[in-house]
């Protein structure tokens, strides 16, 4: 018999195409005391980049360790993005945050976000952050100056498919102006946590 994670707090999922502003919104919400949020650190089998730290930015695992944890049903959700390049949410991470009496906030891809919502439909608020348009998204990605034109085009193509999933989420926050998006996200999460 599988041991299921005991529900203690709420799960707040933020998903969006790259460049929509979800990470900025999540960081803002983490600073609001009354929401009682803690960030869920994802596990990955990819190599560390720059100054990334294990247990702070990600839980860095080898592909073998990741596969072993999949086999042992240790993930709430996981995905193989490229061959042997895995990302996922460890059940122990959610349990760690709930043990502190906090609500869990996720900044994860669309498919991972929807898997969490399917697993815990009543405890999860799945928020899709939508850019005003695909053209605006491309402008934002170019302004970052962190990726090649090819990579940006790849992200924009992926964004079109991700935007089609928006209606599957509980709510959509359109990030046309950041200030408005931050207010709307705060209001929606505050209402959900109190429900």
Pairing of strands 75-82, 59-60: unpaired
Tell me whether residue 21 is annotated as binding.
yes
Q: Are the CB atoms for 126 and 192 separated by under 8 Å?
A: no
Tell me whether residue 68 is annotated as binding.
no
Tell me whether residue 17 is annotated as binding.
yes
Q: Which residues of the chain fall below pLDDT 50?
A: 1-3
What are the start-end ranges of the E strands in the chain?
11-15, 37-39, 43-44, 59-60, 75-82, 85-90, 103-107, 124-130, 171-174
Which helix or strand (DSSP H or E) is residue 93 part of?
helix 91-99
Tell me whether residue 190 is annotated as binding.
no
Return the C-alpha torsion angle 27, 94, 108, 81, nearest 10.
Answer: 140
Two tokens at 160?
């079109």
Q: Per residue in 25-61, pLDDT tens?
A: 999 999 999 999 999 999 999 999 899 999 999 999 9
Tell me whether residue 146 is annotated as binding.
no
User: What's the pLDDT at 3?
Assistant: 47
Tell me whether residue 157 is annotated as binding.
no
CA distances for 18 relative to 3, 33, 83, angstroms:
34, 27, 21
Which helix or strand (DSSP H or E) is residue 137 part of?
helix 134-144
Of 72, 16, 21, 29, the closest CA to residue 192 belongs to: 29
Domains of the chain listed by start with CATH number:
11-194 (3.40.50.300)
| Residues sharing a CB contact under 8 Å with residue 107, sequence separation 6 or more, in sequence order | 14, 22, 23, 26, 39
User: What's the pLDDT at 6?
Assistant: 56
Tell me whether residue 165 is annotated as binding.
no
Q: What's the predicted TM-score (pTM) here? A: 0.88
User: What's the pLDDT at 72?
Assistant: 98
User: What's the pLDDT at 154?
Assistant: 82
Tell me whether residue 16 is annotated as binding.
yes
User: What's the pLDDT at 160?
Assistant: 86
């Amino acid at each position: 018999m599988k041991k299921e994670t005991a529900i203690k707090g709420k799960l707040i999922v933020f998903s969006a195409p790259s460049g929509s502003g979800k990470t900025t919104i999540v960081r803002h919400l983490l600073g609001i005391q009354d929401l009682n949020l803690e960030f869920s650190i994802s596990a990955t089998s990819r190599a560390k980049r720059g100054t990334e730290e294990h247990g702070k930015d990600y839980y860095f695992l080898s592909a073998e360790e990741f596969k072993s944890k999949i086999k042992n049903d240790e993930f709430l959700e996981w995905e193989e993005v490229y061959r042997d390049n895995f990302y996922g949410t460890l059940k122990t991470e959610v349990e760690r945050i709930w043990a502190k009496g906090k609500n869990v906030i996720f900044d994860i891809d669309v498919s991972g976000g929807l898997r969490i919502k399917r697993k815990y439909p009543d405890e999860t608020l799945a928020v899709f952050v939508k850019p005003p348009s695909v053209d605006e998204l491309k402008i934002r990605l170019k302004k970052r100056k962190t990726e090649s034109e090819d990579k940006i085009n790849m992200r924009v193509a992926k964004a079109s498919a991700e935007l089609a999933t928006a209606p599957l989420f509980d709510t959509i926050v359109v990030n046309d102006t950041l200030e408005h998006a931050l207010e709307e996200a705060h209001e929606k999460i505050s209402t959900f946590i109190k429900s």
